[in-house]
A and B are shown apart, each in its own frame.
Chain A
């Protein structure tokens, strides 16, 4: 049966759709062919799949072929059963007949003959040629068709339909399609059943020796092909899957050693999507197929079906695992395959898959996660392709252009070398190429990392290539390896080849290169016995690969370094993009870093910096510091090249803030030196920089600094420096942020002097000006180093400096400073219990009471006095007493009194120039405390720097010791007057009167010859506090002296009292201050008190009488004119009159309140009054009252006459009633 393989392939290639046979009984086909073929492909068809479930197929293709066609006729019956899938699936019998007899006799037997073959699925189409206008013919056709139906249709199945040539009925085509599909469905079911039975039979014999995979394959693929023709791709795919399973089972059966394949030219070019790569007949191997070709063939069919099913995602996913699996198979047979066949195959396979799945846009077609997975797979494919590509490039000596990054190292260093049976050796005529390679190796300068970072480069090879290649050469045993290295064991470790190829400038390498250059070209004879050198290995690999690779594009990509880099970039970009699309950001970003490395090498620093920034952001964001430490120097270098000073500085700072273990001290110092160099010299303009990760700060542990409102202070802050060396900050400022007041901007504390930060912990102190009340936290630390303005936001935890983890969370901020709301810090009050003596020096006590606040330091009090003098003062507290010196109105506060309550005693003398006046019983005393009030303005300056000022004015009441009142006790017949003087004690102290005398005013004399003193035995007189005492003086009226002398004499009597005062301050007594302070306690201190007393001579006979004449009875009204009248009458004759008059005229004056009255007549004038006793005149004045109510009327006064000579009626002020004005019509009065 295997012989049919070729034929099977031909058949398969020639027919790709289902055939429907047309049995044209009545030669009708040419007429109706076009109508039928228009219906193809059938729009919707229902078929059964392998599990007999109905499946809807759209656009079902089929072809109508006449049974007389050669394609159907020339088949052998044997072939028919084998390739049954190509046989017609339905037979349409076309008939026409216009005569019943003809039908019965000719047509019916013929039809019976045609349809008797059971295997055919058939149905009859009766074509009616009758024209609709021809009723007879139509009727006849109907009759014949009815007969036809009776004969051929059964109850179970309708097998007839009628086609009208002149306009078919509307439902004819639907009917036809459904009939066709019914036939096809039945045939398909039957054939599937047949194939399945056959396959089952073969499967049962699977483990028998006679079993032949090719036969099984033909059956299985026939079935699959039939499904494919019927557009049942799912079923076809399943058949191929089963076929693959079965193949893998049988191919790996032990005992049967088969050829693997893959040795032909062009086999390296993966054909996993090209099923027509090789005809199957070429890959037949005994009873089966060669694995290499056949597995690719199967996959090609599977992917073809998947593409037809519009599932490119699955192609990618199956393809990826197929490549992985197939690569393993290639590894197993590597020793039979050409050099690096596996790598080349994988590269081409990946590229083929990528290209096949790349073109359409699948966005939105599928669920997001499937799409993600699809991109991920493509990323994987790119990545796989990239690795193999790099491996090939490395083998031919492009290793220097492959970045030794973690990703490349991880991918390559764990990937084994190809294992050819014999490592390719140098072709004979390749010596120029070897020289060329040597030159490249020698010229390759080692890449020096920025900042002088010394790192062993990451390996790109699983083991040393030199050793591996030489070991695999047949003649060379492993023991000879040492010869390769000239016996230098130092070079045999992992990095030896790297070192030898990249650091030819080092001494050791010079020796080797010398030996190389000294060797004559003649030695490059490819001699098998001599170990190959690296350049030779490269050249040998290149030649071998040239032989292996049949893909011209791939070979071109490997032909030069530039081409390699271009392809490398293309693959890396593809992988990165796809990983990014699949949200595998870590994979994607890492590959971005690889792109950056290439850009960097080509001086495209802008692109490189952008990509490196992405990589750094990823690693920094996730805190993978070791990885970050690898990339960050590259970024820094890019930024340096781009002259991006801010970025470069930021990178340096980030490098410094990485774990200390990642860089040596020397390297860290280099970073710092770079920062300083830029800051101090290179930069022209100030550059801001965030150093939060490097310089951190915190308040000191413990409670926050507490300050009263207005007080300055000193804030101490701990600053951690991550710099490896001391660093000098030109200036430093720290902001304080109020916690409860967001609107208020942060306040900066500045320290303009240079600060030197040691590595690690530093404590700096900052002067704190007075702040507003509130609680403050540390805000931002800013400062300047040269032109560099740095700022740091971060708090350090105040512990060890490895605070990188600490950065990731927010520390609850602790207040560092509390400024209290303004409150009284001190209180001043007068320590006086009762009134003080006026005109005497008195101790005034001022109580100084600090309220939870120290008056320490330069506290000083200043006081000014409203009216008085002051002397030295003394300060006393409960425990201590100290005399202080008053200096320019200020005293310094002693330290001991700063925290306790204390009293300052200040001697003060209130001065009153006015003589105290006594009061008489006639004019009682008018008490007024204000007379004795004095104020003392106190000003206390205190606080740390005299910033706090407390001012208070203290009122002190001063008083005379006595108040004197007089009364005439009796008026004797002989003219003696007994004058009683009553002394009211005004102070809270016992007063002792030692002496009292009265200096009488003019007109009064003492009786007898006395000096005006009472009897001397009367004294001393004690007066208890606030009590009274009386003294009697006997006086009489004396002669009035001439007018000239009156002015010289006193008009008042003066009472003199010599007294003493006893008592203590604690009891309220205030004895005067002893001036010199040496006076003994018992020394009597006499004080003199003077008080003026006015004695009045009695008024006995007035000479003029003034009377206010009554007002009219109608009363007064506002605005009404009225005449006020006074009558003046002379009571005495001119002889007894002391009044100066001119020709009997008296001066009068009318006075009135101008607000109440308007006067119309003369207010002041002379009126003639006869000097004769009893003469009288009336003075009248016109006036108008201005306000209503009781008002005082105008008064008549006689300015030239003493009051005592005038008798008035009414004697005192009086009131008159003024009515409101009469209503006037001009006023508007509401009704």
Chain B
């Protein structure tokens, strides 16, 4: 399991709608803000890369010293962004794919308004479990 892994779902309007810290390392107090900053800056790169490929998984798109940003873009241009320090590429891909399925289930909920914050605790639990499994 990765020591650091910050996972964020960004809606098509660039708004973070879900955020979790899936790392095993004890969280530094200021880390979340810094992670947010790194992921936010990486949106610039995603915006360029997303249209160059038909694949949803964009792999590692940005590197920040020893931290890597991996991104998965869904068909609706919702971006799953993972900041991590592990190199388990296959695991990350599987993680993204399974999270995508979970996200689709959230979308199917008629009471969920696309683009609003995901508050489902079930979703949160599942994502954390997936992070433990794959990262």
A contacts, CB < 8 Å to B: 372, 406-407, 409-410, 413-416, 456, 458-459, 494, 579, 583-587, 590, 619, 621-624, 626-627, 630, 802, 804-806, 808-809
Asked if A586 contacts B67 (CB within 8 A), the reply is: no
Asked if B34 contacts A805 (CB within 8 A), the reply is: no
Asked if B43 contacts A808 (CB within 8 A), the reply is: no
Stretch at the interface among B10-18, B90-98, B99-107, B125-133: B10-18
The 3 closest A-B pairs by CB, nearest first: A623-B15, A406-B37, A414-B65
Q: How far is the CB of A949 from chain B (nearest CB, A)?
A: 49
User: In the assembled complex, which residues on chain A have CB atoms less than 8 Å from the CB atom of B13?
Assistant: 622-623, 808
Asked if B38 contacts A805 (CB within 8 A), the reply is: no
Measured in the bound complex, the distance between the Cα atoms of B36 and A584 in whole Å is 17
User: In the assembled complex, which residues on chain A have CB atoms less than 8 Å from the CB atom of B36?
Assistant: 406, 624, 626-627
Given contacts A590-B41, A622-B15, A808-B13, contact A627 B28 (CB under 8 A): no
Measured in the bound complex, the distance between the Cα atoms of B45 and A410 in whole Å is 17
Asked if A413 contacts B34 (CB within 8 A), the reply is: yes
Q: For B37, B44, B113, B115, which residue has the most chain A Cβ atoms within 10 angstroms?
A: B37
Interface residue from A413, A619, A627, A806 paired with B116 (Cβ < 8 Å): A806
Contacts A/B (CB < 8 Å), 22 sampled: A406-B34, A407-B37, A409-B30, A410-B38, A415-B65, A416-B65, A458-B33, A584-B44, A586-B44, A587-B44, A590-B41, A622-B13, A622-B14, A622-B40, A623-B16, A624-B40, A626-B32, A627-B40, A805-B15, A805-B17, A806-B116, A808-B13
User: In the assembled complex, which residues on chain A have CB atoms less than 8 Å from the CB atom of B117?
Assistant: 802, 804-805
User: In the assembled complex, which residues on chain B have CB atoms less than 8 Å from the CB atom of A494?
Assistant: 28
Q: How far is the CB of B31 from chain A (nearest CB, A)?
A: 10
Asked if B113 contacts A459 (CB within 8 A), the reply is: no
Measured in the bound complex, the distance between the Cα atoms of B117 and A586 in whole Å is 22
Measured in the bound complex, the distance between the Cα atoms of B30 and A961 in whole Å is 106
Q: For B16, B17, B66, which residue has the most chain A Cβ atoms within 10 angstroms?
A: B16
Measured in the bound complex, the distance between the Cα atoms of B28 and A413 in whole Å is 12
Closest to B44 in A: A584
Asked if A587 contacts B15 (CB within 8 A), the reply is: no
Interface residue from B16, B41, B66 paired with A587 (Cβ < 8 Å): B41
User: In the assembled complex, which residues on chain B have CB atoms less than 8 Å from the CB atom of A805?
Assistant: 15, 17, 115-117
Asked if A410 contacts B17 (CB within 8 A), the reply is: no
Q: How far is the CB of B129 from chain A (nearest CB, A)?
A: 24
User: In the assembled complex, which residues on chain A have CB atoms less than 8 Å from the CB atom of B14?
Assistant: 621-623
User: In the assembled complex, which residues on chain A have CB atoms less than 8 Å from the CB atom of B67?
Assistant: 414
User: In the assembled complex, which residues on chain B have CB atoms less than 8 Å from the CB atom of A413?
Assistant: 34
User: In the assembled complex, which residues on chain B have CB atoms less than 8 Å from the CB atom of A459?
Assistant: 30
Closest to A804 in B: B117
Asked if A458 contacts B30 (CB within 8 A), the reply is: yes
B contacts, CB < 8 Å to A: 13-17, 28-30, 32-34, 36-38, 40-41, 43-45, 47-48, 64-67, 113, 115-117
Q: For B13, B15, B16, B34, which residue has the most chain A Cβ atoms within 10 angstroms?
A: B34
User: In the assembled complex, which residues on chain A have CB atoms less than 8 Å from the CB atom of B15?
Assistant: 622-624, 805, 808
Closest to A624 in B: B40
Q: For B13, B28, B36, which residue has the most chain A Cβ atoms within 10 angstroms?
A: B36
Measured in the bound complex, the distance between the Cα atoms of B33 and A871 in whole Å is 87
Q: For B28, B29, B30, B45, which residue has the most chain A Cβ atoms within 10 angstroms?
A: B30
Q: A623-B15, A624-B16 are in contact. List 9 more A-B contacts (CB 8 A).
A: A407-B41, A414-B64, A622-B14, A622-B43, A626-B32, A626-B36, A627-B40, A808-B115, A809-B115
User: In the assembled complex, which residues on chain B have CB atoms less than 8 Å from the CB atom of A630?
Assistant: 33
Measured in the bound complex, the distance between the Cα atoms of B33 and A407 in whole Å is 10
Measured in the bound complex, the distance between the Cα atoms of B33 and A626 in whole Å is 6
Q: How far is the CB of B117 from chain A (nearest CB, A)?
A: 4
User: In the assembled complex, which residues on chain B have CB atoms less than 8 Å from the CB atom of A458?
Assistant: 30, 33-34
Closest to A410 in B: B34
Asked if B41 contacts A586 (CB within 8 A), the reply is: yes
Q: How far is the CB of A1125 from chain B (nearest CB, A)?
A: 108
Measured in the bound complex, the distance between the Cα atoms of B45 and A585 in whole Å is 10
User: In the assembled complex, which residues on chain A have CB atoms less than 8 Å from the CB atom of B43?
Assistant: 586, 622
Measured in the bound complex, the distance between the Cα atoms of B8 and A627 in whole Å is 14
Measured in the bound complex, the distance between the Cα atoms of B43 and A82 in whole Å is 55
Measured in the bound complex, the distance between the Cα atoms of B32 and A215 in whole Å is 56
User: In the assembled complex, which residues on chain A have CB atoms less than 8 Å from the CB atom of B17?
Assistant: 805
Asked if B44 contacts A585 (CB within 8 A), the reply is: yes
Q: How far is the CB of B41 from chain A (nearest CB, A)?
A: 5
Measured in the bound complex, the distance between the Cα atoms of B33 and A273 in whole Å is 39
Measured in the bound complex, the distance between the Cα atoms of B34 and A407 in whole Å is 7
Q: How far is the CB of A1046 from chain B (nearest CB, A)?
A: 105
Measured in the bound complex, the distance between the Cα atoms of B65 and A805 in whole Å is 33
Measured in the bound complex, the distance between the Cα atoms of B82 and A854 in whole Å is 65
Measured in the bound complex, the distance between the Cα atoms of B10 and A805 in whole Å is 13
Q: For B29, B33, B113, which residue has the most chain A Cβ atoms within 10 angstroms?
A: B33
Interface residue from A410, A583, A590, A806 paired with B64 (Cβ < 8 Å): A410
Q: How far is the CB of B133 from chain A (nearest CB, A)?
A: 27
Q: How far is the CB of A454 from chain B (nearest CB, A)?
A: 12
Measured in the bound complex, the distance between the Cα atoms of B117 and A590 in whole Å is 24
User: In the assembled complex, which residues on chain A have CB atoms less than 8 Å from the CB atom of B29?
Assistant: 456
Interface residue from A410, A414, A586, A806 paired with B66 (Cβ < 8 Å): A414
User: In the assembled complex, which residues on chain A have CB atoms less than 8 Å from the CB atom of B66?
Assistant: 414
Asked if B65 contacts A409 (CB within 8 A), the reply is: no
Measured in the bound complex, the distance between the Cα atoms of B37 and A416 in whole Å is 20
Q: How far is the CB of B46 from chain A (nearest CB, A)?
A: 10
Interface residue from A579, A622, A627 paired with B33 (Cβ < 8 Å): A627
Closest to B66 in A: A414
Q: How far is the CB of B115 from chain A (nearest CB, A)?
A: 7
Q: How far is the CB of B134 from chain A (nearest CB, A)?
A: 24
User: In the assembled complex, which residues on chain A have CB atoms less than 8 Å from the CB atom of B30?
Assistant: 409, 456, 458-459
Measured in the bound complex, the distance between the Cα atoms of B15 and A621 in whole Å is 8
Q: How far is the CB of B47 from chain A (nearest CB, A)?
A: 8
Asked if B33 contacts A406 (CB within 8 A), the reply is: yes
Q: How far is the CB of A380 from chain B (nearest CB, A)?
A: 11
User: In the assembled complex, which residues on chain B have CB atoms less than 8 Å from the CB atom of A579?
Assistant: 44
User: In the assembled complex, which residues on chain B have CB atoms less than 8 Å from the CB atom of A590?
Assistant: 37, 41
Measured in the bound complex, the distance between the Cα atoms of B37 and A407 in whole Å is 7
Q: How far is the CB of B53 from chain A (nearest CB, A)?
A: 15
Measured in the bound complex, the distance between the Cα atoms of B87 and A317 in whole Å is 26
Q: How far is the CB of B100 from chain A (nearest CB, A)?
A: 21
Asked if A410 contacts B40 (CB within 8 A), the reply is: no
Closest to B114 in A: A809
Measured in the bound complex, the distance between the Cα atoms of B6 and A626 in whole Å is 14
Q: How far is the CB of B26 from chain A (nearest CB, A)?
A: 12
User: In the assembled complex, which residues on chain A have CB atoms less than 8 Å from the CB atom of B115?
Assistant: 805, 808-809
Measured in the bound complex, the distance between the Cα atoms of B29 and A583 in whole Å is 32
Measured in the bound complex, the distance between the Cα atoms of B14 and A427 in whole Å is 53
Measured in the bound complex, the distance between the Cα atoms of B36 and A805 in whole Å is 18
User: In the assembled complex, which residues on chain A have CB atoms less than 8 Å from the CB atom of B44?
Assistant: 579, 584-587
Measured in the bound complex, the distance between the Cα atoms of B12 and A1099 in whole Å is 116
Q: How far is the CB of B14 from chain A (nearest CB, A)?
A: 4
Measured in the bound complex, the distance between the Cα atoms of B117 and A624 in whole Å is 12
Measured in the bound complex, the distance between the Cα atoms of B14 and A808 in whole Å is 12
User: In the assembled complex, which residues on chain B have CB atoms less than 8 Å from the CB atom of A372?
Assistant: 48
Q: How far is the CB of B121 from chain A (nearest CB, A)?
A: 14
Measured in the bound complex, the distance between the Cα atoms of B27 and A494 in whole Å is 13
Measured in the bound complex, the distance between the Cα atoms of B117 and A623 in whole Å is 11
Measured in the bound complex, the distance between the Cα atoms of B31 and A494 in whole Å is 12
